[in-house]
């Protein structure tokens, strides 16, 4: 991803990106997830607050239970394997209450130039991540460490991220995350953009942002919400 495109995405919210993915129907397998990596919260540098936004290609890590004797074992620690300027995405087996990311990992990742970590699971050592300003997005946090409960199994492989809850009894579709896809995270959440669709999504999201800014200005000047939306979105 070139520097100009990255700068454009840094100016666009995850909400605008999700809207663009829905309009363009560009989720990787045709499902309408809007690229959302579900049920995550920003834990660092602040908890669910601030203007932090990270953009970068994804490096994936699939974790497995520590008791798993059949899955492979990477020869390199996942932090050491992650290239600089990337965002690490970790998937953890459902139901694990332990953290899979701690303060030492944030130090190592930041030193390597990693942009942040997105965890489909837990983190710990919140004060340490915040002290160094390293972006951490996760499902939950814990006091428990990784080693006794989970271990890495595969690096840079496709992931399929399920949601915690169904919608009206119908399962929410999984979000597909492939190595090299672009992840954007901010206070509203994390979204993934297919690698070959990034420029198209960025342009659509920018148009959507500009339209909403015009609508907001018109509403602030006294126009009704319905009238403003009809005028500018139509």
Binding positions for substrate are 102-105
Q: What SS3 string covers the chain?
A: CCHHHHHHHHCCCHHHHHHHHHHHCCCCCCCCCCCEECCCEEEECCCCCCCCCEEEEEEEEEEEECCCCCCCCCCCCHHHHCCCCCEEEEECCCCCCCECCCHHHHHHHHHHCCCEEEEEEEECCHHHHHHHCCCEEEEEECCCCCCCCEEEEEECCCEEECCCCCECCECCCCEEECCCCEEEEECCEEEEECHHHHHHHHHHHHHHHHHHHHHHHHHHCCCCHHHHHHHHHC
Binding residues for Mg(2+): 124-125
Residues of each annotated binding site: 102-105, 124-125
């Amino acid at each position: 991803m070139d520097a100009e495109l990255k700068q454009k995405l840094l100016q666009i919210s995850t909400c605008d990106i999700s809207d663009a993915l829905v309009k363009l129907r560009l989720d990787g397998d045709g499902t309408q997830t809007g690229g959302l990596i579900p049920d995550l919260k920003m834990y660092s540098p602040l908890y669910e607050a601030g203007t932090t936004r990270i953009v970068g290609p994804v490096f994936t890590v699939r974790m497995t239970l520590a008791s798993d004797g059949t899955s492979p074992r990477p020869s390199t620690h996942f932090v050491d394997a992650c290239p600089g300027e990337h965002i690490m995405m970790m998937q953890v087996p459902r139901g694990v209450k332990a953290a899979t990311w701690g303060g030492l990992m944030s130090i190592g990742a930041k030193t390597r130039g990693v942009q942040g970590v997105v965890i489909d699971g837990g983190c710990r050592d919140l004060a340490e991540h915040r002290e160094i300003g390293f972006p951490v997005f996760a499902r939950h946090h814990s006091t428990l460490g990784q080693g006794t409960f989970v271990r890495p199994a595969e690096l840079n492989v496709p992931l399929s991220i399920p949601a915690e809850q169904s919608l009206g009894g119908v399962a929410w579709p999984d979000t597909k995350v492939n190595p090299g896809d672009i992840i954007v995270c901010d206070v509203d959440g994390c979204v993934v953009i297919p690698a070959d669709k990034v420029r198209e999504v960025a342009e659509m999201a920018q148009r959507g942002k500009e339209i909403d800014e015009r609508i907001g200005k018109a509403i602030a000047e006294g126009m009704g919400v319905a009238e403003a939306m009809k005028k500018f979105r139509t």
